[in-house]
Structure 1
Amino acid sequence: MADVMTRGADSGFISGLASGVYHPAVLVFADWPGDPVRVHSGVGTLAWDGHDWIGIGVHGMGGRISLPGEAQGMASTEGQAMLGGLPEDIDALLATDARGSAVQVWFAQTTERSGATLLGGPVSAWAGYIDGMDDAEDGTDGREVKRRVTVALVSRASQRLSPSAYHTDEDQQAEFPGDTAGRHLRAARQRMQAEVVKF
């Protein structure tokens, strides 16, 4: 069975599955700007990979995640993570521009339901990026109002980002002072873009 596992499951993980009674868990790392986040779907603090992973599996937080499919080509596939919380916590999340931040997800097993002790090592499930955030309120029909933040997840870096992927004249001058090739290449690119027919 270990030979057909392509994601590197160790013997403890496989033994847990083979037992027929197992307690699944999800670990999520987000390289949040200025404050990396490590959480798991259980309750309590879980120690793994030299870090503490905080459990968010408590009533009222409404956490859930749907992972994008594995990308086959240039287009990004999209999934999302959702978490409820206090309005001020969500305001703080939304105030941060996390687009382009790396995200990793692992599937794991714990020794008890919603536990914080791993059974074997986690298995890599997905890696990608944050593509944006939004928030919404539920329960406006007289029940308790809950606010949730939704984080869009993509399998490739956002195609809406505008990173400096071009070698500019300034780049060329920094590395080769006096060389004009960068200027000529940039002018050629601008001429090409000006000639593209716009509908």
Structure 2
Amino acid sequence: MAVTNARFRQHLRVGGELALLCYIDHPDQDVRLWSRTGTLKWGGFSWRGIGVLGRVTGVSKSTTLEVKQVVFELAGVPVDSLNLVSDNVRNRPIKLWLAAISRNKVVGEPYLIIDDLMDRQSLSISDNGTATLKITVNVGFWTIERATNIAWTHEAQIAKYPDDSGLSLIPSLANKQVNWRRDP
């Protein structure tokens, strides 16, 4: 991990405390959590402490071309509070930072570990009536095989490829009636 922030590096050298900060662009509402207890103020937002209830697994850095799954887990959630949780998180942003912490304040700039899109969310309920919520993120080169979310227009095509007017035919083709007949 190459940390360029001098205050963060100095904090690491003296054995200072570290914490994870997690931003989830959840369909129900933005979620900002951190790996300690209490409320942390950083970046103009309040980050809710989840302590030992939260866990992130599968985070690693390598130079190989591979797809890794990182799982964000929140355990001990009361089941009755989950009726507002949507399960449609696919392709929504999630970010994870490693932050240097001193007296419940962030020292320097946190180090961004993950800035990717969520894949799926799962829920399991234990015998004691609490739930565990897991969000899976595919980190790496999985986007190579994913279709782009771009819709081209004739104007966008002309702006990028001035000599190509092929998309100007699409509106006429969309509503074209084709009569199929058998030749004698």
- TM-score, normalised to structure 1's length? 0.66
Q: Does 1:86 align with 2:78?
A: yes
Counterpart contact for 1:130–1:152, Cα < 8 Å: yes
Counterpart contact for 2:65–2:141, Cα < 8 Å: no
Structure 2, unmatched stretches of 5+, are 159-163, 174-184
Counterpart of 1:195 in structure 2 is none
Structure 1, unmatched stretches of 5+, are 188-199
Counterpart contact for 2:124–2:131, Cα < 8 Å: yes
Residue 91 (structure 1) shift = 3.4
In the TM superposition, what whole-angstrom CA distance separates every residue of 1:30-79 from its partner, at most 9, and x where no partner exists?
1223622111111111111122111111x6xx210124445868764211
Q: What secondary structure sits across from 2:83 in the alignment?
A: helix
Of 142, 154, 157, the residue aligned with 2:138 is 154
Counterpart contact for 1:7–1:124, Cα < 8 Å: no
Bigger share in strand: 2
Counterpart of 2:6 in structure 1 is 10
Counterpart contact for 1:67–1:153, Cα < 8 Å: no
Cα separation, 2, equivalents of 1:50 and 1:42 = 18
Counterpart contact for 1:90–1:149, Cα < 8 Å: no
Of 113, 121, 124, the residue aligned with 1:136 is 124
Quick one: structure 1 residues 53 and 180, their matched pair in 2 at CA, closer, same or farther if it must change by over 3 Å?
A: same
Q: Which amino acid in structure 1 is aligned with residue 22 of structure 2?
A: V
The correspondence of residues 8-87 of structure 1 with structure 2, limited to 5 A, is: 8-11=4-7, 13-20=8-15, 22-33=16-27, 35-57=29-51, 62-70=53-61, 76-84=67-75, 85-87=77-79
CA RMSD of aligned residues (A): 3.3
Residue 155 (structure 1) shift = 2.0
Quick one: structure 1 residues 17 and 34, their matched pair in 2 at CA, closer, same or farther if it must change by over 3 Å?
A: same
Report percent identity of matched pairs. Answer: 19
Query: What is the aligned residue count?
Result: 163
Q: Which amino acid in structure 2 is aligned with residue 89 of structure 1?
A: S
